[in-house]
Structures are given as C-alpha cells and as structure tokens.
Amino acid sequence: MKKEYIKKDTATSGEAWQVRIAIIGGSGVYDPGILTNLQEESVETPYGKVTVKVGTYRGEEICFMNRHGQKHSLPPHKVNYRANVWALKMLGVERVIATAAVGSTNPEFKPGEFVLVDDFLDFTKTRVYTFFEGGEMGVVHTDFTEPYCPELRRILAETAAEEGIKAHSGGVYACTEGPRFETPAEIRMIRQLGGDLVGMTNVPEVVLAHELGLCYSLIAMVTNMAAGIAETTLTHEEVLEVMAQNGKKLRSLIMEAIPRIPQERNCRCWQTPGKLNI
C-alpha cells in the first residue's frame, strides 16, 4: 500500500503529500526549477535526517533531493546515501530520476550529450553499500541483472528523441571513490573493462534504491572526456559550466518525461527479495 507523508502545516486537516516521483540533482543541479508550491521538508530516518523539497508539476507532486547538500557541501564519499534513499521510500516515492555529471571514456559519448545508463562498474572503496547487514534487516542477496529501470529508460529515450535532445540509450557507468579525478591509467583500465562513463556518486545510490524496490533511472550528462583522452586538465568549475550550459535541455527532458510515466509499474524493479518495514 502506498504510504502518505503528512504535511507538517496541514496534518490536522488530513491533507497529505502523494509523492510518487523523485528527482535527485547531482553536480550543477541544485534547484528543481520546474516545481511550484515548493516546500522544504525534513525526514527523520534510521540513518539521519534528510531535507528535501516537495512541490507540484502538472498536477503531480514531486520530491526534489539535492544529493550534495546546500551549496555542494558534501563530497561524493561523504554523501549519506542510505538516509537519502530511505527518506524517499518513507515519502512513498516509487520512481526516481537521478542526474549526474560524468566524464566520458567512449568517443561516441561527447561533452554536452546525455547518456541513459543501463549498467555500472563499482570501484568505490569506503562506502556502505547495503541496507541488509544482518540482524533485524536480515541477509539478502539482491539480483542486479537490471540495475536501472528499463521502463523509465525507455520513456526518457523516447522523450529525448521527440524533443531533439541527444541522449544515448544505454551506457556503463564506472563509479570511483573521489573526490579526486581519475588517472589516465585508471581510465585505460575502466575502458578496457567496458566502462563508457566515469563518475563518483551513482554507487551505492542505485544499489540502495534497487534494494528498496524503487524504479531508478540515471541521466548522465557528459561534461568532459576523461583523463588521458582530454587534451587539457579538468577542473570542477569546468564541470559546473557545462552543466549550466545544458541545464535547460536537462530540465526539458525531465519535464516532458514526467507526464509520460504511468501510474502502474510495468517492470520488475519492485520485485525485490528484501522486506523492510518502512
């Protein structure tokens, strides 16, 4: 049964958020920009407090989460991924559209283009990767044949095509620990192992979302060619500049995709073996 998240200021009147869809903003995406009646909400989770914004778009109530916190205050390895994903589940979210800035190891994926990711490689080192650590949570081995929701990816791909937005359907995201950028040798290794993109935030976010039965999609924006491929060195400021230049296209893709998302989920994302009481 879908849970309801009661608005603090209207709880006595019985009004409630009916939040079905969430947007997770990565580097350069610090404001949803498409939502009205925006309210900030704090959600208490077993892993800490999470602050989100909830608003409406075309009659749909949407949650926006800033992955890196206010003013990009959290580096990738310090993001509280478990609290973030748990909070979305508490809000009743079923569908997640996440964004991320990435470097490209694939000559076909050029700066300024989008990639709708369908698989990942994990090279992170110090993060907590699961909700299932034994005890009350139990020990669960979750299938990851389809880490990203195929239904959401199809909707985003069809929307991009109709809007004239360059978005590749499918690509392998290699997640590194950060916050430093990768070395040329690491990029050569990633490419040889099949990685098309490199970033620092998608794992364990996608893993945790999958464990909770959320439909999760990732729109990766290529901001640069990776180390050893690019002709110049990379700075974080350059990443933000490319994100800003393409922000309008990113918002357009998300805005036009949201009304296409059906109420019923026609995928297997919700069929997870774990049963967590949220």
- The CA distances from residue 244 to 31, 38, 96, 165, 235, in Å, are 12, 22, 22, 16, 15
Q: What is the pLDDT of residues 62-106, one digit of tens each?
A: 999 998 777 667 899 999 999 999 999 999 999 999 999 999 999
Please give the mean pLDDT across all residues of the chain. 88
- Above pLDDT 90, what percent of the chain? 69
Structure token pair of residue 229: 């491929």
**Dihedral pair phi/psi, residue 5, rounded to 5°:** -110, 115
For the 5-260 domain, the top CATH level (class) is: alpha beta
Structure token pair of residue 27: 């580097």
Question: For residue 8, what pLDDT is reported?
Answer: 42
**Dihedral pair phi/psi, residue 193, rounded to 5°:** -85, 0
Question: Whole-angstrom Cα distance, residue 25 to residue 67?
Answer: 6
Say what the pTM is: 0.89
72, 179 Cβ separation under 8 angstroms: no
pLDDT band at 137 (very low <50, low <70, confident <90, very high): confident
- Above pLDDT 70, what percent of the chain? 87
Q: What is the pLDDT of residues 38-51, one digit of tens each?
A: 899 999 999 999 99
* Residues linked to residue 16 through DSSP beta bridges, in sequence order: 6
201: number of CA atoms within 13 Å, CB side? 25
Residue, of 35 and 219, whose pLDDT is higher: 219
- pLDDT tops 90 at residue 36: no
- Judged on CB neighbours under 10 Å (0-12, 13-18, 19+), 173 is buried
Question: Whole-angstrom Cα distance, residue 200 to residue 187?
Answer: 13
Give the residue extent of every domain in the chain: 5-260
Number of C-beta neighbours around residue 259 at 10 A = 12
Residue type, 41: E
- The CA distances from residue 226 to 102, 109, 166, in Å, are 9, 11, 20
Structure token pair of residue 167: 């978005």
- The CA distances from residue 228 to 151, 170, 182, 198, in Å, are 35, 23, 9, 13
- pLDDT tops 60 at residue 15: no
- Judged on CB neighbours under 10 Å (0-12, 13-18, 19+), 43 is buried
User: Which residues have CB under 8 Å from 71's CB, separation 6+?
Assistant: 30
Residue, of 35 and 196, whose pLDDT is higher: 196
- pLDDT tops 50 at residue 7: no
Residue, of 32 and 269, whose pLDDT is higher: 269
